[in-house]
Amino acid sequence: MNRTNRAVLLIHGGAGTLLRSKMDEVQEAKYRGALQAILLAGEAQLAAGAAALDVVVEAVRQLEECELFNAGKGAVYTAAATHELDACVMDGSNLRAGAVAGLSRTRNPVLAAQAVLRHSKHVMFVGAAADALAASHGLEQVAPDWFGTTQRLEQLQRAQLTDAGALLDHDGQAPIVEQSKFGTVGAVALDLQGHLAAATSTGGMTNKAVGRVGDSPLIGAGCYANDATVAVSCTGTGEAFMRSCAAFDVSALMAYQGLSVQAAAEQVVLEKLPKLGGAGGLIALAANGEFSLPFNTAGMYRGHVTLGNAPVVAIYRDES
């Protein structure tokens, strides 16, 4: 059982150049409202005794359904004007995990990752086989163009017209300066039974090469959970997070050096990742209920709620 009786949920919706001076008030209110609603729903689940894994999956599913974020509906386009979506879930109570990459038809990639965890002896499926597995377990399939939006298509066209290469997340999306904004979404939770879980989902990079996979679906890179230490979900320049095994590194620093979750998370995000050109952030929740939400960019869409307390959401660096 959770001896602290402190059930907690943390979520993120991407990090990057998020400045008050460039943020439209109406759009900002939409982001804050979406984050708050998801946190409130998660708190209700935790209060009812739901398992951490179920809570993070539902939180990420809701983020996938919100066009404001680069996951599920509203995902960015590849260089071929297609969508390839990735997701991962991990249960800290038994280290079981499920991951998918390159989905093009499954409405909610996080549910496909959960299906891998629940129904397969394997950990990861990719492409058409991943969609087929999801469909075989009753998950809704959609036409590939269901994920797209006019805004995302315009974003791709701007990137290709300017020969900008692969752009991270919602690059160029007015009214925010988005040249450095990372749209992975994620959640971590501690339930009343004392178990941790993590989930991460993304549409990848605008104008990315077909077949490119980042850190989000990779255990230990963009997602990790272990009841002995911490649950982590990352967002940022995927290649740097992959090369540094960022999510697992937070756990390792806690386990091997005895660091607090804040010290471990900040060492990874503020010291190690920048040396590899890694921009972004992560959310990390320790087994004792303590948590950290560090990022090395101007802002990160983020929020947290502890059972019995009001949810807290933030975007900018100067917000606690």
Cβ-contact 212, 164 below 8 angstroms: no
SS3 of residue 158 by DSSP: helix
Place of tokens 């929740």: 285
d(CA 276, CA 273): 5
- How is residue 34 written in tokens? 């979406």
Per DSSP, helices labelled H in 13-149 are 25-47, 52-65, 109-119, 127-136
Beta-carbon contacts of 210 under 8 Å, excluding residues fewer than 6 positions away, are 78, 79, 80, 82, 84
In 3D, which of 4, 52, 60 has the Cα closest to residue 34? 60
Cβ-contact 67, 75 below 8 angstroms: no
Active-site residue, selected from the candidate residues 106, 184, 206, 306? 184
Our answer to whether residue 106 is catalytic in this structure is no
Beta-carbon contacts of 218 under 8 Å, excluding residues fewer than 6 positions away, are 88, 99, 242
> Side-chain half-sphere of 241: how many Cα atoms within 13 Å?
32
User: Which residues are catalytic, by number?
Assistant: 184
